[in-house]
Every structure is written in structure tokens, then in C-alpha cells.
Amino acid sequence: MAKIAPSILSADFANLEAAIKNIAENGGDWVHVDVMDGTFVPNITIGIPVVGSLRKVTELPLDVHLMIDRPIRYVGQFCKAGADWLSVHLEADTEENIHAALRLIRSLGVHPALAIKPGTPAEMVKPFLQEVDMILVMTVEPGFGGQKFMYDQLAKAERIRGWLDVLNPECLIEVDGGVDKYTCPLCKEHGVDVMVAGSAYFKAEDRAEFVKFVQKPILINEDY
Ligand code: DX5
Ligand code: ZN
């Protein structure tokens, strides 16, 4: 069964507690929290104290996506604030520092994840495959919600899934950006395990129904 991680980037920031409770009521699996620093991406969102406050009002896993430069400076604080999954971008520092950040995350009992931007070739993740619990394949340029899904990222996700099946089969693949009722089935067909959905979740007429649709397993050879 696929998982859905609604992104609170599309929620009302004046009422995040209501948004997060709404995600739980509608059957969402995780809460996706987008952290942006205005340098790695051209937008600024929320930081460590907000993650700490969200931790107090939900038992759902917090899937924290760091879109910040040199994340090693802050991963310890995000782990202590209550992240369950913590993604750092491969493009945000040297390979050595990204390895160190992922190790630090794991040492603090949090699931380490590696995120890649659309322009980053699949091969770049190879040195990290055995030390992460999730690879986040961005299906839009990070920075803003409500963008169009980049279909060419699906082949990349599927190639990475193939390598993981050999080297680290428990590792999940997550996609983020432009996931809706049209693109979600394609993601599942390409082996994606976790779908982040911001606008599609918060704008859905029936959020519970959208959650069930995303979670529904694909049936291979449905017509036969
Ligand atoms: C974009 C963020 C996404 C964003 C997705 O940089 O990482 O998590 O919330 O929004 P939608 O689903 O609207 O494309
Ligand atoms: Zn995100």
C-alpha cells in the first residue's frame, strides 16, 4: 500500500494544529514539513521551533524535508525537535558532509533520507544507497507548492528503485511536487512508495477519499 504525506506548505500557517489534526482524521500516513532557508531555494518557510510545536500536537510521523544549504549545521536540532524522517538535499553540500549529515541523523534515532532535485542525475545517489531509509525524488523544482509535475522524473525514480531492490530493498522512494489524482497512479506504477501532496490534498473536495485513492495498491494486469 502506498503512503500519503500531505504537505502543510499548502495549509493555513496561522492554524497548523487544525491542519495536522485534519490530516490524521482523513487517514493521512505522515505529515510532510517543508523547511526552506531562502538560499538553497528562493523561499523561506518554517524552522525548528515550529517542528517542535507540531510534535506536541500529533502522533503522526513528521517527514521533514530540509531545503537548506549545508544541512549538517541543523540536522541535530531538527531530530531533537521531533522529526521522524529527515531529508537532506544531495546538492546542498559536499559529498563528504552529506554522508556525515545522514550518519548523524541515524545516530539520533531518526530515519535518514536523501532528496534530489529534478536536474540531478540518478547516478549521483549511488554512493548513498546503503545508508538511507528513503530517497526523495523531487518532481518539481523545490521552493513552491502548486507546480506542474515533471513526468521525466518517473524514469529516474524507477531506476533508483531498481538499484535499491538489490542493495537496500527496505529503503522507500518518495516523490514530491505536483502529485495529484492523475499523476499519482503513474508514480505507483514506477515503484514509488510515498507520495507527498500539498495542493492536491488541501484542495480536494473530499480529502478522505483522496487519501484512500493514493493509498490504494495498483492492480497489475487489472483487465485480465
Ligand atoms: C516544494 C515542496 C513540496 C510542496 C509540494 O518545494 O517540497 O513539498 O509542498 O506541493 P504540491 O503538492 O502542491 O506540488
Ligand atoms: Zn517537500
- Confidence tier at 223 by pLDDT (50, 70, 90): low
Percent of the chain whose pLDDT exceeds 90: 97
In angstroms, what CA-CA distances link 79 with 59, 111, 124, 132, 186? 15, 9, 25, 15, 32
Higher pLDDT, 219 or 103: 103
User: Is residue 224 domain-resident?
Assistant: no
Q: How confident is the model at residue 122 (pLDDT cuts 50, 70, 90)?
A: very high
Task: Check if the beta carbon of residue 173 is closer than 8 Å to that of residue 164.
Answer: yes
With a 6 A CB cut-off, is 65 part of the ligand 1 pocket? Answer: yes
pLDDT per residue as tens digits for the range 63-98: 999 999 999 999 999 999 999 999 999 999 999 999
State which ligand 1 atom lies nearest to the alpha carbon of 197.
12
Q: Is the pLDDT of residue 219 over 90?
A: no
Where does residue 170 rank: exposed (0-12), middle (13-18), buried (19+ CB within 10 A)?
exposed
* Pocket flag, ligand 1, residue 89 (CB < 6 Å): no
85 falls within a domain: yes
How many domains are contained in the chain?
A: 1
In a domain, 12, yes or no: yes
Q: Residue 20 belongs to what domain range?
A: 3-215
From 147, 175, 181, 182, the mutation candidate for ligand 1 (largest count of ligand atoms within 8 A of CB) is 147
- Residue 221 — pLDDT band, cuts 50, 70, 90? low
Q: What pLDDT score does 222 carry?
A: 54
- For residue 177, which atom of ligand 1 is closest to its CA? 14
165/174 Cα distance (integer angstroms): 15
pLDDT score for 218: 84
**Does any domain span residue 194?**
yes
Alpha carbon of 219 to ligand 2 centroid (Å): 28
pLDDT grade for 220, boundaries at 50, 70 and 90: low
221 within a domain of the structure (yes/no): no
In a domain, 37, yes or no: yes
Tell me, yes or no, whether 220 lies in a domain: no
Global pTM reads 0.97
CATH number for position 175: 3.20.20.70
| Ligand 1 and 63: CB distance under 6 A | no
| Structural domain contains residue 222 | no
Mean predicted confidence (pLDDT) in 181-195? 97
CA 197 – ligand 1 centroid, Å = 7
Ligand nearest to C-alpha 203:
1
Tell me what the pLDDT averaged over the chain comes to. 97
Which residue of 41, 86, 140 sits with most ligand 1 atoms within 8 Å of its CB, as the best mutation to test the pocket? 140
The single-letter code of the amino acid at 14 is A
Per-residue pLDDT of 21-68, as tens digits, reads 999 999 999 999 999 999 999 999 999 999 999 999 999 999 999 999
